[in-house]
Amino acid sequence: MTNLPSIKQLQYLIAVHQHQHFGRAAEACFIGQSTLSSAIQTLEETLGCQLIERENRSLMFTDIGEEVVIRAKKIIADTMSVKELTKSYKHPLSGKLTLGVIPTVASFIAAPLYQFCLQQFNQLQLVLVEDTSDKLLDKLEHGHIDMAMLALPYHTERFHTQVLAKDHFSLVHHQDYEIAADVSDLNLLPDKSVFLLEREHCMTGHALSACHLNRSDCINPFEAANLHTLLSMVEYQNGVTFLPQMALNAGILQGKPIVTNGVLGDAYREIGLLWRKTTGRIHDFRLFSEKVGEFVNQQCEQAKKEN
Amino acid sequence: MTNLPSIKQLQYLIAVHQHQHFGRAAEACFIGQSTLSSAIQTLEETLGCQLIERENRSLMFTDIGEEVVIRAKKIIADTMSVKELTKSYKHPLSGKLTLGVIPTVASFIAAPLYQFCLQQFNQLQLVLVEDTSDKLLDKLEHGHIDMAMLALPYHTERFHTQVLAKDHFSLVHHQDYEIAADVSDLNLLPDKSVFLLEREHCMTGHALSACHLNRSDCINPFEAANLHTLLSMVEYQNGVTFLPQMALNAGILQGKPIVTNGVLGDAYREIGLLWRKTTGRIHDFRLFSEKVGEFVNQQCEQAKKEN
DNA sequence: AATAAATGATCAGATATTGCGATAGATAAA
DNA sequence: TTTATCTATCGCAATATCTGATCATTTATT
């Protein structure tokens, strides 16, 4: 058996790297400075090379030291995930779970989702975070959130993706606005009559591709930052836009002189849950996505036979 | 600081999993049986759940135990790679290095490459292994070989790929075989006049795509398993085939009544080195690929102004 | 049924590792 | 020079790891 570095040694090394200071690192690890000093020395011995250059009053990690720190971090993270794994096995869906949700979903289901989880998982302390898709993926990668709920398709190989539900788009317009009864090809809509969210918004892309909108002339250059601004434009400028079923079910049109023109056949976005592939709480997440999947499906349900 | 499982405990757990037997596992770890027994118990305690069901005369890993073993293996591998990393830093390119090479490369450069490495890296004990691309990637994944040299493009995201050199294809044919002086479009060659290796062979694909051969009629249905069989067919059946520069430079046509029709403009395969992304010998491999890259380039060099 | 072999758990005691506190040594700041 | 800061070192204590002998249980053999 080869003599490998120990978990503790790696933890201590990481601490020194974080604090760039032996004393403070030792404090953070709840051990004495001397202990840490000798631990690092032993580690350097087993690895057969210097990791840290101790100078007058400052530290300096060697190239190889930096590389070792990177790998050590991964090893520690993996080891902690083993503990998480066994813990979530013993106490399913307990403790804190931080879920990131994109705005065009959170607006409509954050509150009922929170209520739902409170009932379903009474051991769980759910924390919701609202942000854009990009930001959420960043947070997910860095461990600031445990899972992300966003609209698919969204290109990412980095994480495990679990599809929960289809959320169909409907065409909506002012109740007085006359529109051809049969709008099979949406590209035939009048010039500048289609209002959308800002271009960077993932829902804009989803609406465009799901509705096969390729004639840019019919799209109004105005870019809304949120759905309510968008709706007010549609209301006053007598245009049209696309709303996901989830928004309609949440009553976004209530009290407004805007009506839906019915669901558009195969135009939909998908709601999905993402998590880190290396997570230790895989059981938790599977269980969570199963239950929440049912809930989200319900939120996206199309009213049967509604005239 | 949370109480994490130790590296040793994980190693012992893996040993028990491998041997499915406490006694033999202990032996393999060079520790007493009692030590191992208590180590596993301590591990189960820190993880808070049972990993192994000890029965009458047999072992049985629990579901969670199996999962822990999988993750433990990764942690141990990563930890060992840290040791490798520092070792290769102290003694660059020393010890054993096992390199897999595909047949259509190995045939021509295995011997001179071995000689080259003997001179360049006198601390290195190079072991060459010849096998097909697929098999080599399998071996690479399972750690049976350290690097693989194969012909690109070859689709794989699993490994780091380092391109070494372009190896151009030339059209060759029997010296008495008349061929249009200007064969700009190879699809115009006579029916069944093009001989190739078997369909599964990566060089077949590379030749086809590099030479933009899309008219299947001109390809002879015979499939050769190696280049020498292929050449004998070309020789006796008066057909043509494509050979990489590497083969020509190695003198494969010497003594044969076969001549080259000159290099085909942009028709080439690339020779590349692949290694596991998580390797600890990254410095070694970079150094190796740099030097060997020069060597392979030389082996693929096209004779200037040769008439 | 009696006996032997196999296997993992347990215990006391040895050894190794990890920990602490005090202090030394070296350097920079006052 | 004095003081403050910082890591290394040393003796010693606590803890973890390891060993060898032994136990309890089950299975195979006689």
pLDDT in tens, B162-178: 888 888 888 788 777 76
Find which nucleotide's C1' atom is closest to A52's CA: D7
Average pLDDT over residues B99-123: 88
Q: What is the mean pLDDT of chain A?
A: 82
State the nearest Cα–Cα gap between A74 and chain B, in angstroms: 8
CATH of domain B94-164+271-306: 3.40.190.10
DSSP for B179-215?
Answer: --S--S-GGGSPTT-EEEE-TTSHHHHHHHHHTT---
Q: Which residues contact A43 (CB under 8 A, 6 or more apart)?
A: A5, A9, A10, A12, A13, A51
- Helical residues (DSSP H) of A20-132, grouped into ranges: 22-28, 33-47, 63-90, 103-120
Asked which of B61-65, B144-148, B234-238 is least confident by mean pLDDT, the reply is: B234-238
Q: Which residues contact B211 (CB under 8 A, 6 or more apart)?
A: B169, B186, B242, B264, B267
Q: Measure CB to CB from residue A47 to each of B1, B11, B86 and give the nearest one.
A: B86
Name the more confident of A191 and B302: B302
- The answer to whether the CB atoms of A85 and B78 lie below 8 A apart is no
Q: What are the phi and psi torsion angles at B163 (to 5°)?
A: -75, 135
User: Beta-carbon neighbour count of residue B42 at 10 Å?
Assistant: 14
Q: Based on the number of CB atoms within 10 Å of its own CB, is B253 exposed (0-12), middle (13-18) or buried (19 or more)?
A: middle
| Mutate: best of A6, A27, A89, partner B, most B CBs <10 A | A89
Find which nucleotide's C1' atom is closest to B42's CA: D16
Chain B residue with minimal CA distance to A6? B7
Strand runs labelled E in B93-207: 95-101, 124-130, 147-152, 159-174, 194-197
On the question of pLDDT at B33 being above 70, the answer is yes
Cα-Cα-Cα-Cα dihedral sign, residues A197, A203, A205, A207:
negative
Q: Based on the number of CB atoms within 10 Å of its own CB, is A24 exposed (0-12), middle (13-18) or buried (19 or more)?
A: middle
Average pLDDT over residues B60-69: 88
Q: Based on the number of CB atoms within 10 Å of its own CB, is B236 exposed (0-12), middle (13-18) or buried (19 or more)?
A: exposed
Provide the whole-model pTM.
0.73
* Contact (Cβ atoms closer than 8 angstroms) between residue B147 and residue B117: no
CA of A22 to C1' of C14 (A): 34
Enumerate chain B positions whose Cβ falls within 8 A of a Cβ in A. 1-2, 4-8, 11, 29-30, 46-49, 64, 67-68, 71-72, 74-76, 78-83, 85-87, 89-90, 280
Round the CA-based radius of gyration of chain A to a whole number and report it: 26
Half-sphere exposure (Cβ direction) of B94: Cα atoms closer than 13 Å: 10
The band of A307, judged by pLDDT with boundaries at 50, 70 and 90, is: very low
The band of B306, judged by pLDDT with boundaries at 50, 70 and 90, is: very low
The predicted pLDDT at position A40 comes to 92
**Single-letter residue type at A302:** Q
Contacts of A2 in chain B (CB under 8 A): 80, 83
Strand runs labelled E in A175-304: 194-197, 219-224, 240-244, 258-276
**Gap between the Cα atoms of B220 and A163, Å rounded:** 48
On the question of pLDDT at B249 being above 80, the answer is yes
Which residues are bridge partners to B228 per DSSP?
A: none
- The answer to whether the CB atoms of A82 and B72 lie below 8 A apart is yes
- The answer to whether the CB atoms of B79 and A75 lie below 8 A apart is yes
A21-30 pLDDT, tens digit per residue, is: 888 899 888 8
Average pLDDT over residues A96-109: 89
Structure tokens at A204: 């804009």
Class of domain B166-269: alpha beta
CA of B35 to C1' of C7 (A): 15
State the nearest Cα–Cα gap between B225 and chain A, in angstroms: 38
Class of domain B7-89: mainly alpha
In chain A, ranges of CATH 3.40.190.10 domains: 94-164+271-306, 166-269
CA of B177 to C1' of D17 (A): 79
Chain B residue with minimal CA distance to A44? B86
Structure tokens at A280: 């230790």
In chain B, ranges of CATH 1.10.10.10 domains: 7-89
